[in-house]
């Protein structure tokens, strides 16, 4: 089988007219359409009926990350605007960085960086004075030091000074609706600069219907970075660097996965899926190297020795990971994963995926193709012909994997 490094991204493209990109959410979260793909057959319905298509005793895994107001606009004395887009904390975890008072450093993208001549930029409101100064230039970003008064946490500062970070393809200013609708109803742990959009469709009514059908749910945390929108510019995937994302999984969730053996596991969103599959490989690493100190997952590791040769079952992997965590006296796995899931990948934990429709020539489309093979084209053709809405605020799909 071809190594994903050799995949040509031009083989994963389709025509996406601008008018098919959803610029606003529907009035009701669960009114979106859903495409259901199973064994090469396609059906469509409304999201509020999703329970009808999920087997009883399934386990749905959601990403409970919460989107922060990551876009901060500083107006210069000359009238020009410099936009600072926060990517992730610099050399700190999200909890510590967002709780910081008075000062913190973040990796950022800067719109209009060449116009930034001053030592620092200032943003003043009635209740806040915020300064930003350039601390360091990295190959792919800037390190910006923020300082402020009065004594507030940085999370509170962003609530006052930041804007909702709508994706770059939603070409409008964020409005009041976005503060609520570009957030899942179960969002809890702050840190994402993009929403895990598959979860935007879920309502309390859907959760009730799932519970009645004995469908369980659990949560992981993966903070979505702006890299999720990073276009693949290289001709083959070998030239594309996958973004690393912070993930957090507690031991109770790993135990829940063990109890789910033989029953369907459904990832709600590509971020949940990448987290689940990363958990399997982290467990394999603890089998191969029981005394490993730090668990991380690189972009290509799962396709290369020694991981690709491992034949460990899910239960062997998860039990080993739990034993490693106990030995480390940890209640949760908190680490980074850079996993790239593309055609050629064999899914270990996940059996189905709930997801929106993704951009042409994107790593997210490669993930869908890994799950359903060449049928991704017929799925996207169907969605295009049947007036589905695309991307973050668009409609969804339930894809059962061709394993």
Give the start-to-end residue ranges of the domains of the chain: 4-66+183-400, 70-163
Question: Over pLDDT 70: what percentage of the chain?
Answer: 100
Question: Over pLDDT 90: what percentage of the chain?
Answer: 87
Q: What is the mean pLDDT of residues 108-128?
A: 89
| Cα atoms found within 13 Å of the Cα of residue 5, Cβ hemisphere only | 9
State how far the Cα of 232 lies from the Cα of 286, in Å rounded to an integer: 32
Residues 6+ apart with CB under 8 A from 291: none
pLDDT of residue 140: 84
Q: Is 106 helix (H, G, I), strand (E, B) or coil?
A: strand
For the chain, the average pLDDT equals 95
pLDDT, tens digit, for every residue of 345-382? 999 999 999 999 999 999 999 999 999 999 999 999 99
DSSP designation for 226: G
Residue 125 has pLDDT above 80, yes or no: yes
State how far the Cα of 354 lies from the Cα of 202, in Å rounded to an integer: 11
Q: Phi, psi (5° rounding) for residue 259? A: -70, -20
pLDDT, tens digit, for every residue of 275-312? 999 999 999 999 999 999 999 999 999 999 999 999 99
Residues 6+ apart with CB under 8 A from 21: 169, 170, 389, 390, 391, 394
pLDDT of residue 114: 85
Q: Evaluate whether 4-66+183-400 and 70-163 have a shared fold.
A: no
Q: How buried is 153 (Cβ within 10 angstroms: 0-12 exposed, 13-18 middle, 19+ buried)?
A: middle
Q: Which residue has the higher pLDDT, 79 or 291?
A: 291
CATH T-level fold of 4-66+183-400: QueA-like (3.40.1780)
pLDDT, tens digit, for every residue of 253-280? 999 999 999 999 999 999 999 999 999 9
Q: What is the C-alpha radius of gyration for the chain, rounded to an integer number of angstroms?
A: 21
Q: Across the chain, which distance is largest between two alpha carbons, in Å?
A: 64
Residue 29: closest CA among 325, 386, 395, 304: 395
pLDDT of residue 230: 77
Helix (H) or strand (E) holding 204: helix 204-212
Residue 1 has pLDDT above 70, yes or no: no
Q: What is the mean pLDDT of residues 219-236?
A: 87
Buried b (16+ CB within 10 A) or exposed e, 154-187: bbbbbeebbbbbbbeebeeeeeeebeebbbbebb
State how far the Cα of 155 lies from the Cα of 99, in Å rounded to an integer: 6
Residue 2 has pLDDT above 80, yes or no: no
Only one residue has tokens 């601390």, namely: 135
DSSP designation for 174: -
pLDDT, tens digit, for every residue of 231-256? 899 999 999 999 888 899 999 999 99
Homologous superfamily (CATH) of 70-163 is: QueA-like (2.40.10.240)
- Answering whether pTM is above 0.85, one says yes
Q: Phi, psi (5° rounding) for residue 268? A: -95, 95
């Amino acid at each position: 089988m071809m190594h994903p490094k050799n995949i040509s991204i031009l083989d994963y493209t389709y025509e996406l007219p601008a008018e098919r990109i959803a610029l606003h959410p529907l009035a009701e979260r669960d009114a979106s359409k859903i495409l259901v793909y199973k064994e090469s057959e396609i059906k469509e319905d409304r999201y509020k009926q999703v329970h009808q298509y999920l087997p009883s005793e399934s386990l749905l895994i959601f990403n409970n990350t919460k989107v922060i107001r990551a876009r901060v606009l500083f107006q210069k004395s000359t009238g020009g605007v410099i936009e600072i887009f926060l990517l992730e904390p610099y050399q700190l975890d999200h909890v510590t960085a967002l709780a910081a008072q008075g000062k913190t450093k973040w990796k950022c993208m800067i719109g209009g960086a060449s116009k930034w001549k001053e030592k620092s930029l200032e943003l003043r409101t009635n209740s806040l004075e915020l300064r930003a100064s350039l601390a360091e230039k990295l190959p792919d970003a800037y390190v910006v030091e923020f300082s402020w008064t009065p004594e507030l946490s940085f999370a509170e500062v962003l609530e006052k000074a930041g804007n909702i970070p709508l994706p770059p393809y939603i070409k409008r200013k964020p409005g009041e609706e976005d503060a609520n609708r570009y957030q899942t109803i179960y969002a809890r742990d702050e840190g994402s600069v993009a929403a895990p959009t598959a979860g935007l469709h879920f309502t309390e009514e859907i959760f009730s219907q799932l519970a009645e059908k004995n469908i369980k749910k659990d949560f992981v945390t993966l903070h979505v970075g702006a890299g999720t929108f990073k276009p693949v510019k290289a001709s083959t995937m070998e030239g594309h660097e996958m973004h690393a994302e912070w993930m957090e999984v507690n031991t109770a969730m790993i135990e829940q996965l063990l109890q789910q053996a033989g029953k369907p596991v459904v990832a709600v969103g590509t971020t949940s899926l990448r987290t689940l599959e990363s958990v399997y490989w982290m467990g394999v690493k603890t089998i191969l190297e029981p005394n490993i100190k730090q668990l991380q997952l690189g972009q290509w590791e799962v396709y290369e020795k020694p991981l690709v040769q491992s034949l460990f079952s899910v239960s062997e992997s998860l039990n080993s990971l739990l034993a490693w965590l106990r030995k480390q006296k940890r209640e949760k796995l908190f680490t980074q994963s850079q996993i790239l899931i593309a055609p050629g990948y064999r899914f270990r934990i996940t059996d189905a995926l709930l997801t929106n429709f993704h951009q042409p020539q994107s790593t997210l489309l490669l993930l869908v193709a890994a799950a359903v093979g060449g049928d991704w084209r017929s799925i996207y053709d169907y969605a295009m012909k049947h007036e589905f809405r695309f991307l973050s605020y668009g409609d969804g799909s339930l894809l059962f994997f061709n394993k």
